[in-house]
Amino acid sequence: MTSGDKTMNHRVGASHLELPRLGLGTGSLGGMIPGSDEQANAVLDQAWASGLRLFDTAPWYGTTRSEHCVGHFLRNKPRDEFIVTTKVGRVFKRPDRGFDFEQSPWRRRWPAGLPFVPHFDYGADQIRRSYEDSLSRLGLARVDGLAIHDLDIGHRKTDAEVDRGFAQLDDGGGFEVLAEFKRSGEIGAIGAGINLPGYIPRFLEHFDIDYFILAGPYTLLDQQALVEELPLCQERGASIIIGAPFASGILATGAEEGARHRYTAAESDIMERVALIEAVCCDHKVPLAAAALQFPMAHPA
């Protein structure tokens, strides 16, 4: 996750929170592919040894597994030496008796995730519960930022469900809980995780968001957010964090067999475009992954 120089901090929106320009997003530690806790710990250990001190997680990643992994690692570090952010919008419960979790869409999404079932809810009570549950999984008394997660058509499936989520944040008091957390110093900043273009304007129309985590609409491969979202964030003073600078894999691996784009196998047209980008990088003796990581940092948002 990119937010340049790993040690150079930047103020987040209208908050007092400052973030370094580089951090580690931990969605993959939730178990997109089978892997051990030892492997997850080794990734976190290498990130720490490389100087990274910003760690972003979410209950959704691995149906709570990522928060456990991140917490297990970070709780053994001095609390004033790292920044950790997580997300709200889903509450996790054990499956009902007789429910076959192994055949569920959540097991298919997170093959190495934990057996807990997500329930979307952005209302006040569930925001509080989500926050407290995250603290328990992390084993930490506080986090530095909370982001509203996946309130879009891709995850909620219908416009009515998206509208319902925004209503829970607004009339249902969910956002006011986040605002109170910020006012009281419980958290440093309020964010929103965005996967698709078109939602940043809606959030900013209703709420004072300090930062957006963009996972997809602005990379070396895709600049949809350049038209409206990034200029609007500049105008409103909201910060942008690029949550998937490698487009979930292909801008790190290149156009090789099995390359991943937006969490699935890359289609032929994407493979062709990335091969052309790789050729330009090769001509200038710049690694594709370096170009992908540096690209979003050129924009003032």
Q: What is the pLDDT of residues 82-119, one digit of tens each?
A: 999 999 999 999 999 999 999 999 999 999 999 999 99
Question: What does the pLDDT average to over 259-264?
Answer: 90
Query: What share of the chain in percent tops pLDDT 70?
Result: 97
Tokens (6 digits) for 259:
């390359």
Q: How many domains does the chain have?
A: 1
User: Does a structural domain hold residue 285?
Assistant: no
Would you give the distance in Å from CA 31 to the centre of its chain?
Answer: 15
**pLDDT at 7 > cutoff 60:** no
Domain coverage including residue 133: 9-214
pLDDT of residue 95: 96
Question: What does the pLDDT average to over 196-222?
Answer: 95
User: Does a structural domain hold residue 273?
Assistant: no
User: Does a structural domain hold residue 29?
Assistant: yes
Question: What does the pLDDT average to over 122-136?
Answer: 98
User: Does a structural domain hold residue 57?
Assistant: yes
Strand, coil or helix: 142: coil
Q: Among the residues of the chain, which ranges form H helices? A: 37-49, 65-74, 105-109, 124-138, 153-156, 159-170, 174-183, 200-206, 229-236, 250-253, 268-283, 288-294
Question: What does the pLDDT average to over 144-161?
Answer: 96
Q: With cut-offs at 50, 70 and 90, classify the pLDDT of residue 31.
A: confident
Instruction: List the catalytic residues.
Output: 56, 61, 87
Domain of 94, CATH number, reads 3.20.20.100
Mean pLDDT (the chain) is 94
Least confident of 9-18, 129-138, 230-239: 9-18
**pLDDT at 5 > cutoff 70:** no
User: Does a structural domain hold residue 250?
Assistant: no
pLDDT tens digit sequence for 276-294: 999 999 999 999 999 999 9
User: Does a structural domain hold residue 282?
Assistant: no
User: Does a structural domain hold residue 255?
Assistant: no
User: Does a structural domain hold residue 63?
Assistant: yes
**Cβ–Cβ under 8 Å, residues 209 and 191:** yes
